[in-house]
Amino acid sequence: MNDLPTRASAIHSGMAAPSMAGLHGAAARETADNGPSAGNIIVLGNEKGGTGKSTTAMHLIVALLRDGRSVASVDLDGHQGTLTRYIENRRSFAESEGMGLQLPDHHRIAGGEAEISEADALIDRLAASRDYVVLDCPGTDNPLARHAISRADILITPVNDSFIDLDLLARIGGTPPRVLGPSVYSQTVWEGRQRRAMSGGRPIDWIVLRNRLSPLDSRNKKNVGLTLDELARRIGCRCLDGFHERVIFRQLFLQGLTVLDLREEGAGVTLNMSHVAARQEIRRLADAVLGRGAGEARAGSPAKAGPGSTDPMLAGL
């Protein structure tokens, strides 16, 4: 296991190392065995830290593995390396407890301009031989994180249920709150969409995922929901009610477990109602990613981006 953060490094390969020359990730393949397409690239991105990117990445990876998909993952947050450590912990726990936990083919890459071509080559190689490649971005704005957006078939942006988090997606003001204009991250996504369109990629499916939802119905929760509905239409994303604030999401890191593993012998957790609900939340996200039951997401019209686009202001913002 190599956890040096400075170069692209595989820390675990559950399968033989891929050797095929890379397809560009934008050109996902059609296969009969693996659902509608293979080589899909899923990017967890939001330039704010602590919104749940790595937690969501880990849960989605395990959900896809349990669904029988082959999955590779790349930690683009070389500084924090949360996803890498989560997966290392899973590997160690599985070994020490003799559990048959599934692992992705995981790699880690440092941020920075120099690593973009290296990351691209790695992503191409992984996408050529895996059903899904999950990229976990840092919670900062850097060239690699920006580039990752343009590689996304699906971009998932977790946001905490707060207008502070929404402020990165859009300028919001007034009573009741209304979307006034674009903000830094939606601008970054727009630019990523344009770069992707210029390289011939299919449009990015952008999912804004509410995280750490309060169990209580509050005015803030309702207002955030209404604003996200408006945002979905204006910036071309779909909004998904993701995960409630649950202690269990914070308790499993050291064992490398997810809420989907709680029924496994050796997990050492007695399942309660909150855990069952958490599992349903993860399955709902997996369904949205796999195109099953995606109707639960509140969809906006996809934003068009491309070389001919004259209006960078995000589908009418």
Q: Which residues make up the interface to Mg ion (CB under 5 A)?
A: 53-54, 82
Q: How far from 279 is each of 135, 161, 288, CA to CA, in Å?
A: 22, 20, 14
Number of residues that bind ligand ADP (CB under 6 A): 16
Interacting residues of 11 by C-beta distance below 8 A, sequence separation 6+: 1, 2, 3, 84, 87, 88, 106, 107, 108
Q: H helices then E strands: how many in the chain?
A: 9, 11
Q: Based on CB atoms, which residue is closest to ligand ADP, 233 or 246?
A: 246
Q: Based on CB atoms, which residue is closest to Mg ion, 148 or 267?
A: 148
Q: Based on CB atoms, which residue is closest to ligand ADP, 190 or 249?
A: 249
Q: How far apart are CA 131 and CA 45, in angstroms?
A: 20
Residues in the chain: 317
Binds 171, which of ligand ADP, Mg ion, none (CB < 5 to 8 A, cut-off by type)?
A: none
Does 84 interact with ligand ADP (rule: CB under 6 A)? no
Binds 160, which of ligand ADP, Mg ion, none (CB < 5 to 8 A, cut-off by type)?
A: none
Binds 40, which of Mg ion, ligand ADP, none (CB < 5 to 8 A, cut-off by type)?
A: none
Q: Based on CB atoms, which residue is closest to ligand ADP, 133 or 213?
A: 213
Does 111 interact with ligand ADP (rule: CB under 6 A)? no
Instruction: Decide if 229 contacts 74 (C-beta within 8 A).
Output: no
Q: Based on CB atoms, which residue is closest to ligand ADP, 124 or 261?
A: 261
Window 121-180: residues binding ligand ADP (CB under 6 A)? 139
Binds 219, which of ligand ADP, Mg ion, none (CB < 5 to 8 A, cut-off by type)?
A: none
Instruction: Decide if 112 contacts 5 (C-beta within 8 A).
Output: no
Nearest-Å Rg of the Cα atoms of the chain is 19
Q: Based on CB atoms, which residue is closest to ligand ADP, 129 or 157?
A: 157
Q: How far apart are CA 125 and CA 74, in angstroms?
A: 12
Q: Based on CB atoms, which residue is closest to ligand ADP, 26 or 137?
A: 137
Window 247-266: residues binding ligand ADP (CB under 6 A)? 249-250
Binds 221, which of Mg ion, ligand ADP, none (CB < 5 to 8 A, cut-off by type)?
A: none
Window 223-252: residues binding ligand ADP (CB under 6 A)? 243, 245-246, 249-250
Q: Which residue type, as a one-letter code, is found at position 244?
A: H
Instruction: Decide if 93 contacts 268 (C-beta within 8 A).
Output: no
Which of 40, 73, 211, 258 is close enough to bind ligand ADP by CB under 6 A? 211
Taking alpha carbons only, the member of 147, 177, 183 closest to residue 162 is 177
User: What does the angle CA 88 – CA 4 – CA 65 come to, to the nearest 5 degrees?
Assistant: 35
Q: Based on CB atoms, which residue is closest to Mg ion, 48 or 151?
A: 48
Which of 36, 49, 143, 312 is close enough to bind ligand ADP by CB under 6 A? 49
Does 51 interact with ligand ADP (rule: CB under 6 A)? yes
Peptide bond into 176 cis (omega under 30): yes
Cβ 158 to Mg ion, closest distance in Å? 10
In the numeric block, the tokens 């593993």 are attached to 261
Cβ 77 to Mg ion, closest distance in Å? 5
Residue 183, token pair as written in the block: 């903000």
In the numeric block, the tokens 């009573």 are attached to 175
Binding site for ligand ADP (CB under 6 A): 49-55, 82, 139, 211-212, 243, 245-246, 249-250
